[in-house]
Amino acid sequence: MNQNMAAAMELRCWGGDWGLPSVHSESLVVLAYAKFSGAKLTVSPIDWTWKTLTATVPELICGNSALQEPTQILNFLRKQRFNADYELSARQGADTMAYIALLEEKLRPALLHTFWVDAENYANVTRPWFASRSPFPLNFLVPSSHANTALSRILLTKGEAPLHRISEVEGKIYSDAKECLNLLSYRLGSANYFFGNSPTSLDAFVFGFLAPLYKASLPSSPLQSHLRQLDNITGFCDNILAVYFSSDHPCPPPPVQETMDANLQKLTQLVNKESNLIEKMDDNLRSSPQHKPHRPDPKPSPASEKNSTPA
Amino acid sequence: MSLAAEAFVSQLSAAEPWPETATLYQPLKEDQILLSDCASSLAVQAYLRMCNLPVRVACRANAEYMSPSGKIPFIQVGNQVVSELGPIVQFTKAKGHSLSDGLDDVQRAEMKAYMELVNNMLLTAELYIQWCDDATAAEISRPRYSSPYSWPLSNILAYQKQYEVRRKMNAIGWGGKTLEQVYEDVSQCCQALSQRLGTQPFFFNKQPTELDALVFGHLFTILTTRLTSTELAERIKSYSNLLSFCRRIEQAYFEDKSS
């Protein structure tokens, strides 16, 4: 493809977790589109830097220009001849715009609510995740500022009457979102992608919006359980993850059972290491009355090091 | 009102036939109504005419405050009040009048998607031009919006409305857009609608649906409303099939019944 582009492109986005390359919908849209179109992006997660507060995410930096918002970035990539929509007819291009509008209007408010406003999800999933990825003292600031933005966006776009109250709009945004999921499911049918055999920008948008909802382990979410019942949509997400994000995945979290096994293994190794160490120290102590603290081997087993990265 | 209560009420109302006294409320037509409200109101009127449901249009200076959702327009049918096109479509459906019954699931998905495109692009662009373009806001929107009220209430209400809309624009990321970018978005939206319509008489071939009513309401209003600049209408005029679509619906549903 067109890999000999002059300027290197750097994408700043939130990092990955839950089996996804990024937990952030908009970042995920851009990452997916880049994979679909063959654009080579240098991905630099903003996790643990001060950019968690200052940067607008996702942001594409190419030479002197910086672009924000998925739509802008996708337009830019298309102009750089990274076009995943090349084979679409004009009518399909129009459909793409319409379905993206549908996602924005019907699904986004409910997604924002699920992750940022729903108290249980926010306290157990969203806030801990974003707090742990922000450096001190931003960890106190970043999650709540995102939550405030999300809440005010929902109220301003979907709120009714001058005195907006969140409880009045909740029912409506969730029923809208469920309807939107159903419509997407009808539209996708049994196909792999929305248009033909290769993924396009609409697939990137749907994947970006739905994958976090599908993969996050949320304590309370009627929307998530609704999504998990739509087999073709979950299959669609799994397929894109498997085809486009499996090989270079930064840290694929293993399934739960394997994690337990790995932890057990690590524990055993640690215990062994300790006892070895104690034995040797004991020997050292016995052989030399003076304190000569040369530790025999700080990291005796390379296997344990490999396993300890996720922890 | 909760969703369950709403569902219950619409169940109850299903039995009753459409009364002759059904009324649609909107702001004063000559002096007060703004482009976006006029477009939404026309879309609902077109929809009801397509369904062959008679409705009387009543202009009230305080229509916005009468509406249960604070949005224009709303209809009063018997003892029920419903606002905005989406809920009104559901309401008429409960009464057994629907334009989209003939569509299959995929077509219905497509129809809803295009309706959201119109809401997301055209309606937002109208609001942007009305309240975020300083010339239009000062010359048209604020004076018209506040025309029924005397000073200082007129100023307070107009600036409050403007502040509200600008906050909304900032929240959805339109705050930083220039007028030119907004026109460009309108062009793109019209391009998509024009592509989708093609040479068909209506969006889903022979029969009009609520999508046709919504598109007609917005395009016709933009074409026939005078603003500080004609740029918005010019953008639409470059799509000839959309123009003839508007003319077709106007002739079929508004001219012969205007007596």
pLDDT of residue B16: 77
Domains observed in chain B = 3-94 (3.40.30.10), 105-255 (1.20.1050.10)
Instruction: State the smallest CA–CA distance between residue A34 and chain B in angstroms.
Output: 23
User: Would you call B196 an interface residue with chain A, using a CB distance cutoff of 8 Å?
Assistant: yes
User: Would you call B70 an interface residue with chain A, using a CB distance cutoff of 8 Å?
Assistant: yes
Beta strand A9-13 with A41-45 is: parallel
- Tokens linked to B181: 């970018």
What are the chain B neighbours of A175 within 8 Å (beta carbons)?
3
pLDDT of residue A156: 86
Contact B168 A161 (CB under 8 A): no
Distance (Å, rounded) from C-alpha B46 to C-alpha B54?
Answer: 11
Given B112, B171, B198, which is nearest A183 (Cβ)?
B112
Q: Is residue A252 part of a domain?
A: no
Contact B117 A101 (CB under 8 A): yes
For residues A94 and A231, membership in a common domain is answered with yes
**A303 compared with A177, residue with greater pLDDT:** A177
Q: How many CA atoms lie within 13 A of A192 on its CB side?
A: 10
For residues A115 and A264, membership in a common domain is answered with no
Phi, psi of B57 (to 5 degrees): -95, 125
What's the sign of the alpha-carbon dihedral B175, B176, B179, B185? negative
User: Would you call A184 an interface residue with chain B, using a CB distance cutoff of 8 Å?
Assistant: yes
- Tokens linked to B159: 């600036």
For residues A191 and A128, membership in a common domain is answered with yes
User: From residue A310, how far is each of A262, A266, B10 by CA, in Å?
Assistant: 10, 12, 54
Given B68, B112, B196, which is nearest A102 (Cβ)?
B112
**Model pLDDT for residues B230-242, shown as the tens digit of each residue:** 999 999 999 999 9
Q: Is residue A75 part of a domain?
A: yes
**Model pLDDT for residues B16-65, shown as the tens digit of each residue:** 788 888 999 999 998 899 999 999 999 999 999 999 999 999 999 999 88
Given B108, B109, B195, which is nearest A94 (Cβ)?
B195
CA angle, residues B106, B107, B112, in degrees to nearest 5:
100
Instruction: State the smallest CA–CA distance between residue B3 and chain A in angstroms.
Output: 7
| pLDDT greater than 50 at residue A286 | yes
pLDDT of residue A51: 73
pLDDT of residue A273: 60
User: Would you call B1 an interface residue with chain A, using a CB distance cutoff of 8 Å?
Assistant: no
Contacts with A, B 199-258, CB within 8 Å: none
For residues A54 and A156, membership in a common domain is answered with yes
DSSP structural state of residue B18:
P
User: Would you call A75 an interface residue with chain B, using a CB distance cutoff of 8 Å?
Assistant: no
User: Would you call A163 an interface residue with chain B, using a CB distance cutoff of 8 Å?
Assistant: no
Max mean pLDDT among A152-161, A240-249, A283-292, B210-219 falls in B210-219
Contact A160 B71 (CB under 8 A): yes
For residues A276 and A167, membership in a common domain is answered with no
For residues A80 and A220, membership in a common domain is answered with yes
Q: Is residue A253 part of a domain?
A: no
Nearest CA in chain B to A150: B171
Report residue A264's pLDDT band, with 50, 70 and 90 as the boundaries.
low
For residues A303 and A219, membership in a common domain is answered with no
pLDDT of residue A268: 55
A32 close to A1: Cβ distance less than 8 angstroms: no
For residues A13 and A142, membership in a common domain is answered with yes
For residues A156 and A290, membership in a common domain is answered with no
Distance (Å, rounded) from C-alpha A239 to C-alpha A246?
Answer: 10
Comparing A31-45, B6-20, B156-170, B241-255, the range with the smallest average pLDDT is B6-20
- Give residue for tokens 């129809």: B111
Contact A105 B119 (CB under 8 A): yes
Q: Is residue A254 part of a domain?
A: no
| pLDDT greater than 80 at residue A52 | no
Q: E-strand spans in chain A?
A: 9-13, 41-45, 59-62, 65-68
Nearest CA in chain A to B165: A156
Q: Closest Cα to residue A73, out of A85, A86, A60? A: A60
Number of domain units in chain A: 2
Instruction: State the smallest CA–CA distance between residue B192 and chain A in angstroms.
Output: 4
Interface test with B, best of A155, A165, A187, A205 (most B CBs within 10 A): A187
Q: Closest Cα to residue B91, out of B200, B179, B156, B10? A: B10
**Model pLDDT for residues B112-134, shown as the tens digit of each residue:** 999 999 999 999 999 999 999 99
ipTM confidence: 0.90
**Model pLDDT for residues A61-71, shown as the tens digit of each residue:** 888 888 888 88
Phi, psi of B162 (to 5 degrees): -60, -45
Q: Is residue A94 part of a domain?
A: yes
Q: Closest Cα to residue B192, out of B97, B102, B96, B121? A: B121
pLDDT of residue A41: 86
User: Would you call A66 an interface residue with chain B, using a CB distance cutoff of 8 Å?
Assistant: no
Three-state DSSP class for residue B206: coil
> How many A/B residue pairs have CB atoms within 8 Å?
81
Q: For residue A94, what is the domain's CATH number?
A: 1.20.1050.130
pLDDT of residue A279: 58
For residues A240 and A266, membership in a common domain is answered with no
pLDDT of residue B259: 46
Nearest CA in chain A to B167: A156
Nearest CA in chain B to A183: B109
Contact A95 B110 (CB under 8 A): yes
DSSP structural state of residue B2:
-
Q: Is residue A234 part of a domain?
A: yes
Distance (Å, rounded) from C-alpha A99 to C-alpha B116?
Answer: 8
Contact B3 A94 (CB under 8 A): no
User: Would you call B174 an interface residue with chain A, using a CB distance cutoff of 8 Å?
Assistant: no
pLDDT of residue B256: 65
User: Would you call B105 an interface residue with chain A, using a CB distance cutoff of 8 Å?
Assistant: yes
A63 close to A7: Cβ distance less than 8 angstroms: yes
Contact B116 A97 (CB under 8 A): no
Q: Is residue A160 part of a domain?
A: yes
Distance (Å, rounded) from C-alpha B113 to C-alpha A249?
Answer: 33
Whole-structure pTM value: 0.82
Long-range contacts of A88-93 (CB under 8 A, 24+ apart): A88/A195, A88/A200, A90/B195, A91/B195, A91/B196, A91/B198, A92/A195, A92/A200, A93/B192, A93/B195
3-state secondary structure B223-255: HHCCCCCCHHHHHHHCCHHHHHHHHHHHHHHHH
Q: Is residue A251 part of a domain?
A: no
Range of the domain at A122: 9-245
Distance (Å, rounded) from C-alpha B249 to C-alpha B145?
Answer: 29
Distance (Å, rounded) from C-alpha A18 to C-alpha A39?
Answer: 24
| pLDDT greater than 50 at residue A295 | no
Contact B116 A160 (CB under 8 A): no
For residues A158 and A280, membership in a common domain is answered with no
What are the chain A neighbours of B173 within 8 Å (beta carbons)?
69
For residues A87 and A135, membership in a common domain is answered with yes
User: Would you call A133 an interface residue with chain B, using a CB distance cutoff of 8 Å?
Assistant: no
